Amino acid sequence: MPTIDDVARAAGVSASTVSYVLSGKRSISGPTRERVKRAIAQLGYRPHAGARALASSRTNVIALMAPLRVGVDVNVIMQFVTGVVTRAREFEHDVLLLTQDDVVGIERVSNGSMVDAVIVMDVEAQDARIPTLVGLRQPAVLIGLPGHTQPLSCVDLDFEEVGRLALSHLTALGHRRIALIGPPPSVLDRHTSYADRMLRGYRAQALVDDVEVLVEPCESTSAGARRAVAAVLEHMPDVTAVVVHNESALPTVVSALRTAGRRIPDDVSLLAVCPADVALSQSVALTSIDIPAQQIGAAAVDMVMERLAGSGAVQTRLFAPQVTDRDSTAPRDSTALPRT
Amino acid sequence: MPTIDDVARAAGVSASTVSYVLSGKRSISGPTRERVKRAIAQLGYRPHAGARALASSRTNVIALMAPLRVGVDVNVIMQFVTGVVTRAREFEHDVLLLTQDDVVGIERVSNGSMVDAVIVMDVEAQDARIPTLVGLRQPAVLIGLPGHTQPLSCVDLDFEEVGRLALSHLTALGHRRIALIGPPPSVLDRHTSYADRMLRGYRAQALVDDVEVLVEPCESTSAGARRAVAAVLEHMPDVTAVVVHNESALPTVVSALRTAGRRIPDDVSLLAVCPADVALSQSVALTSIDIPAQQIGAAAVDMVMERLAGSGAVQTRLFAPQVTDRDSTAPRDSTALPRT
DNA sequence: TTGAAAGCGCTAACAA
DNA sequence: TTGTTAGCGCTTTCAA
Cβ-Cβ contacts under 8 Å, B228 against chain A: none
Res A312 pLDDT > 90? no
* Alpha carbons A187 and A112: distance in angstroms, whole number: 32
**Mean pLDDT, rounded, for A238-258:** 95
Q: Give B103-132 pLDDT, tens digit per residue.
A: 899 999 999 999 999 999 999 999 999 999
What residue type is assigned to position B70 of the chain? V
- B26's CB contacts (< 8 A; 6+ apart) are B20
Instruction: Decide: B29 and B18 in contact? Cβ < 8 Å.
Output: no
Nearest CB among B51, B52, B114 relative to A94 is that of B114
- Residue B134 has a CB neighbour count (10 Å cut-off) of 11
Q: Give B139-185 pLDDT, tens digit per residue.
A: 999 999 999 989 999 999 999 999 999 999 999 999 999 999 999 99
* Alpha carbons A291 and A273: distance in angstroms, whole number: 7
* Alpha carbons A75 and A280: distance in angstroms, whole number: 14
Q: State whether residue B145 is helix, strand or coil.
A: coil
Q: Which CATH number is B4-54's, of 1.10.760.10, 1.10.260.40, 3.40.50.720, 3.40.140.10?
A: 1.10.260.40
Res B251 pLDDT > 70? yes
**Mean pLDDT, rounded, for B201-208:** 98
Q: Give A107-127 pLDDT, tens digit per residue.
A: 999 999 999 999 999 999 999
Residue A337, burial from CB neighbour count under 10 angstroms (0-12, 13-18, 19+)? exposed
Q: Does domain B58-157+292-321 have CATH number 3.10.450.50?
A: no
* Alpha carbons A258 and A226: distance in angstroms, whole number: 11
What residue type is assigned to position A170 of the chain? L
A interface test, pick of B22, B74, B270 with most A CB neighbours within 10 Å: B74
pLDDT tier for residue B74 given thresholds of 50, 70 and 90: confident
Q: State whether residue A157 is helix, strand or coil.
A: strand
Question: Using the CB atom, is residue A188 less than 7 Å from strand C?
Answer: no
Cβ-Cβ contacts under 8 Å, A81 against chain B: 68, 97
Q: Residue with CA nearest D11 C1'? A: B55
Cβ-Cβ contacts under 8 Å, B184 against chain A: none
What does the pLDDT read at residue A340?
38
* Alpha carbons A163 and A161: distance in angstroms, whole number: 5
Q: State whether residue A63 is helix, strand or coil.
A: strand
Q: Give chain A's length.
A: 340
Sign of CA dihedral A18, A24, A27, A31: positive
Min Cα separation B91/chain A (Å)? 14
Q: Provide the CA B12 distance to its chain's centre, in angstroms.
A: 49
Q: Name the pairing type of β-strands A287-290 and A323-324.
A: antiparallel
Question: Using the CB atom, is residue B230 less than 7 Å from strand C?
Answer: no
Question: Using the CB atom, is residue A99 less than 7 Å from strand D?
Answer: no
* Alpha carbons B284 and A87: distance in angstroms, whole number: 41
Question: Using the CB atom, is residue A259 less than 7 Å from strand D?
Answer: no
Q: Give B9-39 pLDDT, tens digit per residue.
A: 999 999 999 999 999 999 999 999 999 999 9
What does the pLDDT read at residue B92?
96
Element of type H or E holding B86: helix B74-90
Distance D2 C1' – A84 CA (angstroms): 39
Strand D: which of residues 52-111 in chain B lie with Cβ below 7 A? 52, 54-56
Residue A328's alpha-carbon distances to A16, A229, A232, A266, in angstroms, are: 64, 16, 18, 9
Domain chopping of chain B, boundaries: 4-54, 58-157+292-321, 159-290+324-334
Q: What integer best gives the mean pLDDT of chain A?
A: 94
* Alpha carbons B114 and B255: distance in angstroms, whole number: 48
- B252's CB contacts (< 8 A; 6+ apart) are A251, A255, A283, B222, B225, B226, B229
* Alpha carbons A294 and A304: distance in angstroms, whole number: 16
Instruction: Decide: A103 and B89 in contact? Cβ < 8 Å.
Output: no
pLDDT tier for residue B339 given thresholds of 50, 70 and 90: very low
What does the pLDDT read at residue A335?
52
**Mean pLDDT, rounded, for A74-98:** 96
**Mean pLDDT, rounded, for A313-322:** 96
pLDDT tier for residue A72 given thresholds of 50, 70 and 90: confident
What does the pLDDT read at residue B103?
87
Q: Give B283-329 pLDDT, tens digit per residue.
A: 899 999 999 999 999 999 999 999 999 888 999 999 999 999 999 99
What does the pLDDT read at residue B334?
52
Question: Using the CB atom, is residue B22 less than 7 Å from strand D?
Answer: yes
Number of Cα atoms under 13 Å in the Cβ half of residue A68:
20
What does the pLDDT read at residue B338?
43
B4-54 shares its CATH topology with B159-290+324-334: no
Nearest CB among A50, A59, A251 relative to B251 is that of A251
pLDDT tier for residue A71 given thresholds of 50, 70 and 90: low
Q: Name the pairing type of β-strands A269-274 and A117-120.
A: unpaired
**Mean pLDDT, rounded, for B80-108:** 95
Min Cα separation A206/chain B (Å)? 32
Cβ-Cβ contacts under 8 Å, B274 against chain A: none
Q: Does domain B159-290+324-334 have CATH number 3.30.450.20?
A: no
Distance D6 C1' – B310 CA (angstroms): 37
Give nearest nucleotide to B30 (CA–C1'): C1
Element of type H or E holding A296: helix A293-308
Q: Give A185-229 pLDDT, tens digit per residue.
A: 999 999 999 999 999 999 999 999 999 999 999 999 999 999 999
Give nearest nucleotide to B11 (CA–C1'): C2
What does the pLDDT read at residue B335?
52
Res B337 pLDDT > 60? no
**Mean pLDDT, rounded, for A33-61:** 97
pLDDT tier for residue A101 given thresholds of 50, 70 and 90: confident
Question: Using the CB atom, is residue A60 less than 7 Å from strand C?
Answer: no
Q: Give A153-166 pLDDT, tens digit per residue.
A: 999 999 999 999 99
Percent of chain A with pLDDT over 70: 97
Strand D nucleotides, any atom under 7 Å to a protein CB: 1-5, 7-13
DSSP string, B163-211: HHHHHHHHHHTT--EEEEE-S-HHHHHTTBHHHHHHHHHHHHHHHHHT-
DSSP string, A193-228: HHHHHHHHHHHHHHHHHT-EEEEE---SSHHHHHHH
Res A334 pLDDT > 70? no
* Alpha carbons A91 and A95: distance in angstroms, whole number: 11
Res A336 pLDDT > 60? no
Helices then strands, each counted (H, E), chain A: 14, 12
Interface touch B49/A53, C-beta < 8 Å: yes
What does the pLDDT read at residue B138?
97
Strand C: which of residues 175-204 in chain B lie with Cβ below 7 A? none
DSSP B137: S
For residue B208, which of B160, B240, B265, B241 has the smallest C-alpha distance? B160
Q: What integer best gives the mean pLDDT of chain B?
A: 94
Cis amide bond preceding B217, omega within 30: no
Question: Using the CB atom, is residue A51 less than 7 Å from strand C?
Answer: yes
What does the pLDDT read at residue B164?
98
Helices then strands, each counted (H, E), chain B: 14, 12
* Alpha carbons A97 and B93: distance in angstroms, whole number: 11
Interface touch B85/A68, C-beta < 8 Å: yes
Res B59 pLDDT > 90? yes
* Alpha carbons B169 and B324: distance in angstroms, whole number: 10
Cβ-Cβ contacts under 8 Å, A280 against chain B: 221
Interface touch A97/B98, C-beta < 8 Å: no
**Mean pLDDT, rounded, for A22-40:** 95
